[in-house]
Structure 1
Amino acid sequence: MAENNPFPGENNTGHVWDDNLRELKNPPPRWWMMGFWASILFVIGYSLLYPTWPVGQEPTQGVLGWTQMKEYEKGMEQVESKRAKFEDRIRGMSANEILADPGLTQYTLASAKVLFGDNCSACHGSGGQGNPGYPVLADDDWLYGGGTAKITESITGGRQGAMTPHQTILTETEVDTLANWVVQMSETAGQGGSDEGWTLFKSKGCTACHGQEANGILVALPNGDVVTVGAANLTDGIWRFEPGGYESARHTILYGVNQSGVPESRGAVMPAFAEAGKLSEQEIKKLVVYVHSLGGGR
């Protein structure tokens, strides 16, 4: 092709297409070549300083000895040094004392948010709103009491309530009456339950768990604390097991809660985090403050 080059004297290779498209032999710009050689030098230098080339199962170590774990540990040391003054104060305080200190409360809430996400949100939702079948923490309805002492008990030792299945205790008519009564109570804040339902509620021993007022409280103590076995408050519109309503109430009455040998029984178990070794005393204290802040308590 060179002998037929229509551009004699031009610095090209002689490869010409479509009459005027040709391949020139001009060198790259100087700045481009400088960048090219600089990038090669950079790769060589980086390879000497940091882990780079695979050798067997491990890369070359690099003269600096840098690793991701060392970088992570260094970062964690910096974080821990910032937290130390707050953590030392929390260690010697109760949950109520932390809540009385606005600045320390703010730190504890920020610190406990990660703990809640790792250990609690799978059941109770990321904001305490409760996933299907699990209690809502972002309201003021508490099965076992919402004070810091009760929340500490719940997180530390877990909870496993129980309700007797009444399928062999009550007649179909009685189950129907009680289920409708529970719905009436929930819709009228405990003021509209039928007399027949109240009679059954008291005569069948329901007060032993749900209390004389059907509000889940067995005894109200002078200091504001309550004695409860975790039975639901039947006088509000909050349902422990969704979707609520007549069919839900009937199912719970018939088959109970946490009853072995009853396949249809409701399951409601919270693990004991302290016994499982998943949370330290300090972490439990932080979570108590966090959970209490979600919905208050009694």
Structure 2
Amino acid sequence: MAHHNPWPDEGNTGHIWDEDLRELDNPPPLWWMLSFYAGFVMIIFYALYYPTIPLENSHTKGLAGWTQVGEYHEDYKVLKDWRKKKFADQEEKLAALSVDQILKDKDLTTYAVKTSKMLFGDYCAACHGAGGQGNPDFPVLADDDWLWGGKPAQIQATITNGRIGNMPAKGMMGNLTDEDINHVADYVIALSNGKGNDPSVAAGKAVYTKGMCFACHGPAGKPLAPAGAANLTDHIWRFAGDKDDIIRTIKYGVNVKKNGELIPHTRNAVMPAFKERLPNPEVNIKRLAVYVYSLGGGQ
């Protein structure tokens, strides 16, 4: 940098490099200065018009009374009104028709399935998984194995009123010893593998009869009617299917209570009723029933 200024009247700052490269001190253009000061005016306007200034426990509300939540609700109402108008015919049909009738209409079924995905994600996926694959210790909806029946009306009833599983505790409050339970667990595993008549599990088969297991699960491990009892012959498990888990279920049962409280280690299998949980339940229960039916391949 030079230590002298050969151009003292030029209006430079006195900073000079390489003999003649210098920094001038010219004022900004008028348009730039006006824009600069206008920015300060806009800051004051913004601070007064919108909620801006933090206070001890709140903030200034602003002259406009604007909030992000309010704008969201306004935009959502516009979207909701548009959807209501665009899909009015389909929604009227869903309200008027039964689940069986909806399933006979291919276009309406497609509409019901597509509009059910958000509902299913919000209200069902926590237990049954995003695709109906079932989270641990919750039923799978993506197969054709149904505890309470897979007909459309049965699925609708399940969603509407919920379900409470029930199985006696054969070891804690029943008539089976630990040895009996071990034998019948082997028999149940054999049933699931199609080997229920194998001589090696004859003792378990005898316990199956002694313990009155056939009253719910059927004489050969397959319930005669869907009433909440598991099919023991299809290798699909309501809970985990290893022997220790099977023994736990047999010994401690499902939803077994004593003095109004669940006993330790009993299975807790309760599905809540959604008739009062869902928005617009008259339509949305049918919508979900169609979706669940489509996931599980019907009956």
Does TM, scored on the shorter chain, surpass 0.5?
yes
SS class of match (1:14): strand
Contact 1:189 1:235 in 2 (8 A): no
Root mean square deviation of aligned Cα: 3.4
> 107-116 or 203-212: which moved more?
203-212
* Residue equivalent to 2:170: 166
SS class of match (1:122): helix
Tell me if 1:239 matches 2:246: no
Query: 1:219-268 CA deviation, whole Å, 9 max, x = no partner?
Result: xxxxxxxx3321111001111112x1211111111111101232110111
C-alpha separation in 1, matches of 2:280 and 2:236? 30
- CA separation of 1:13/1:59 partners in 2, compared to 1, >3 Å: closer, same or farther? same
Q: 1:159 is aligned with what amino acid?
A: R
* Residue equivalent to 1:109: 113
Displacement of 1:137 in angstroms is 0.4
- CA separation of 1:206/1:16 partners in 2, compared to 1, >3 Å: closer, same or farther? same
* Residue equivalent to 1:135: 139
Contact 1:163 1:258 in 2 (8 A): yes
Scaled by the length of structure 2, what TM-score is found? 0.82
Contact 2:146 2:226 in 1 (8 A): no
Contact 1:145 1:297 in 2 (8 A): no
Displacement of 1:149 in angstroms is 1.1
Q: Which runs of 4+ in 1 moved over 4 A?
A: 6-11, 16-22, 26-30, 34-44, 189-193, 275-279
C-alpha separation in 2, matches of 1:151 and 1:143? 10
* Residue equivalent to 1:176: 182
Percent identity of equivalent pairs:
43
Tell me if 1:209 matches 2:209: no
Q: 1:246 is aligned with what amino acid?
A: K
Contact 1:16 1:23 in 2 (8 A): yes
C-alpha separation in 2, matches of 1:19 and 1:251? 93
C-alpha separation in 1, matches of 2:23 and 2:136? 70
> 196-205 or 114-123: which moved more?
196-205
- CA separation of 1:22/1:41 partners in 2, compared to 1, >3 Å: closer, same or farther? same
Contact 2:2 2:15 in 1 (8 A): yes
Scaled by the length of structure 1, what TM-score is found? 0.82
* Residue equivalent to 1:271: 272
* Residue equivalent to 1:144: 148
C-alpha separation in 1, matches of 2:171 and 2:84? 56
Tell me if 1:255 matches 2:252: yes
Displacement of 1:196 in angstroms is 2.6
> 123-132 or 15-24: which moved more?
15-24
- CA separation of 1:35/1:183 partners in 2, compared to 1, >3 Å: closer, same or farther? farther
* Residue equivalent to 1:289: 290
- CA separation of 1:183/1:282 partners in 2, compared to 1, >3 Å: closer, same or farther? same
SS class of match (2:146): coil
* Residue equivalent to 2:56: none
Q: 1:119 aligns with which of 111, 120, 123?
A: 123
* Residue equivalent to 2:85: 81
C-alpha separation in 1, matches of 2:195 and 2:91? 43
Query: 1:172-215 CA deviation, whole Å, 9 max, x = no partner?
Result: 22111111111111122756583332222123211111112311
- CA separation of 1:279/1:72 partners in 2, compared to 1, >3 Å: closer, same or farther? closer
SS class of match (2:266): coil
C-alpha separation in 2, matches of 1:207 and 1:256? 15
Alignment length, in residue pairs?
283
Displacement of 1:74 in angstroms is 1.8
* Residue equivalent to 1:60: 63
Q: 2:61 is aligned with what amino acid?
A: E
Tell me if 1:196 matches 2:197: no
Q: Where do 5+ consecutive residues of structure 1 fail to align?
A: 219-226
C-alpha separation in 2, matches of 1:34 and 1:201? 93
